Structure 1
Amino acid sequence: MYHYMTVASTSQRKPKGRYHHGDLREALIEAALAEVASNGPEAVSFSALARQLEVSQAAPYRHFADCDMLLAAAATRAFADFNAHLQAVVARRRKGSDLARMAHAYVAFGLRHTGTYRLMYASRHLADAPIDSPLHQAAEAGFLYFMSLLDVGEAGAERGEKRRARVAIKLLAGLHGVVMMAEQGLLPPRVQKVTMAELVDDLVRDAETAMEQTA
C-alpha cells in the first residue's frame, strides 16, 4: 500500500548555519533550498541568508543579481534532485508498473515537500525563465523521463510520440491537481490516504489505457 503524508513540508536539507568554505554560490543555493522546504519560496531573502551564512549583505549579489535568480537556481537544483529521486524509485521495482511507481512517488514528494514542490511547479520562476535556460532543461528532462515510461506499443514512431506527449501531459496535470488540491485542503473529506492512492492508480490506469489505443 502506498502511504501519503498530508502534513506541512519537511526539509530535504539541513540549514548550513555558519558559512565555513569558499563556495558561497553553492552555500546560497543550499540555504535557499532549506528555507524553501521549511517556509516556502516567499520566505527566502538575501538579507536573511547573508545573516545565516555570516557574510556581508552585499556578498550574495556577487553570484546572483537578485533573489529571483537565486530561486531559479534553487529550482533548477530541485528539479535535478527530484528527477534523480523518481528514477531511483522506479529502479527499485518493488510494486506495480514503472509508471505507477513514478506517479505515486511524484504525489508523495509533493505532499511531503510542499515548499519545494511549489517552488518547482507553482511559482513563476519556470514560466519566466528563458526556454534554453538550465531551469527549463532540468524540468524538460523530468518530463521526457515521464514520457519514456509510457509504452507506444505497435504505433508508428511519429504517431506514438505525439500520443505519448499528450498522455504524459494529461497524467501530469492530474497528479499536479491531486497535490495542489490536497495541499490547499480542497479534496473532499472522504478522500483519505488510501483513496488518494486509488485515485493515483486510476490516473495511471487511464494513461496506460490511452496508450494502448495507439496500437
Structure 2
Amino acid sequence: MPGGPRSRGRYHHGDLPSALLDAGLVHLAAAGPSGFSVAEVARRVGVSTASPYRHFTNRDGFLAAVAARAANLLAASLAEATTAAGADPGDRLAAAAGAYAAFVSERRVGLDTIFSPALRSVQDVDLAQAGRAVMDLFLDPARELAGERGLALTERVVALAHGYGTLDADGFLTADRVTDEPTATRARRAARALIDGDMI
C-alpha cells in the first residue's frame, strides 16, 4: 500500500554503510576474522547479500573496514582514559590498560583482531592508521617511562590487559569473583604494579 509501513526486517535508515559496519563489528566479535561472513552481516541488517558490495569492494575490504571501526573506537576509549589520567606516564599507561581490558570485555575485539594475520595482506590504509593510533597510546607513555625498553614494557602491559579483558568476556572473572571491583579497575591496578616493578 503506498505510504504504508515498509516490510518488517528490511533496512530503511539513512546510513547503510555505518549500519553495516556496526553489524559487522558485532559479527566479528562472535565469529572472528576467519569466520567473518558478509552474507551474515547483510542478514543482520536486513538487506540483500549484494548490498554491502555497493559500499565495500570485497569481503576483505569490508572486514578491514570493520576492523578499522573497532580500532577507532578502541583508540577513542584509550585516549579518553589516558587524558583523564593526567600527566604522569605511568598513570597514563595503566589507564590505557584498564580501558583496553574494559573494551575487550565488552566488545570481544582487541589487538589480536585489529592486527590479525588474516588482514595483513589487505594493506588497508585506514586500518593501518587506526591500529597505529591505538599502539601510540600505549607506546608514548611507555617510552617516556622506559626509553628504548618502551616497546618491551608495552608488550607486557598489553598482554596483561588483554588477559583481563578476554577472561572477563569469557565469564572466568565473573563466575567466582574475589572482589566486586570492575575488571577495568583491576587491570589498571595490575598494570600499575607491573609498571612500578619494571622501573625498579
Give the TM-score normalised by the residue count of structure 2: 0.70
Q: 1:206 to 1:55 in 2, by over 3 A?
A: closer
CA–CA distance in structure 1, aligned partners of residues 10 and 76 of structure 2: 26
Which residue of the other structure, out of 158, 163, 176, is the alignment partner of 1:189?
Answer: 176
Mapping 1:26-41, distance limit 5 Å = 26-36=18-28, 40-41=30-31
Which residue of the other structure, out of 198, 202, 207, is the alignment partner of 2:190?
Answer: 202
Aligned to 1:3: none
Note the C-alpha offset of 1:175: 1.0
Q: 1:18 to 1:44 in 2, by over 3 A?
A: farther
Note the C-alpha offset of 1:34: 4.7
Q: 1:17 to 1:168 in 2, by over 3 A?
A: farther
1:175 aligns with 2:157: no
Mapping 1:99-138, distance limit 5 Å = 99-114=93-108, 117=109, 120-123=110-113, 126-130=116-120, 132-133=123-124, 134-138=126-130
Structure 2: state its 5+ residue gaps: 1-8
Match of 2:11, SS state, is coil
**8 Å contact from structure 1 (residues 17, 52) kept in 2:** no
Note the C-alpha offset of 1:93: 4.0
**8 Å contact from structure 2 (residues 97, 187) kept in 1:** no
Aligned partner letter, 1:206: L
Name the Cα RMSD after superposition: 3.4
Q: 1:106 to 1:199 in 2, by over 3 A?
A: closer
Q: Which has the higher helix share?
A: 2
Aligned to 1:164: 150
Structure 1: state its 5+ residue gaps: 1-15
Aligned to 2:71: 79
**8 Å contact from structure 1 (residues 19, 27) kept in 2:** no
Aligned partner letter, 2:195: A
Note the C-alpha offset of 1:137: 3.2
Aligned to 1:59: 51
Identity of aligned residues (%): 27
Give deviations 1:124-177, integer Å, cap 9, x for gaps. Answer: 872222375332332222112211122635x7xxxx1x3001101111011111
CA–CA distance in structure 2, aligned partners of residues 141 and 50 of structure 1: 29
Note the C-alpha offset of 1:73: 1.2
- State the number of aligned residues: 182
CA–CA distance in structure 2, aligned partners of residues 36 and 98 of structure 1: 29
CA–CA distance in structure 2, aligned partners of residues 64 and 144 of structure 1: 29
Q: 1:44 to 1:104 in 2, by over 3 A?
A: same
Q: 1:50 to 1:195 in 2, by over 3 A?
A: closer
CA–CA distance in structure 1, aligned partners of residues 137 and 164 of structure 2: 20
Match of 1:193, SS state, is coil
**8 Å contact from structure 1 (residues 79, 142) kept in 2:** yes
Which is worse superposed, 96-105 or 140-149? 96-105
Note the C-alpha offset of 1:36: 4.8
Q: 1:97 to 1:27 in 2, by over 3 A?
A: same
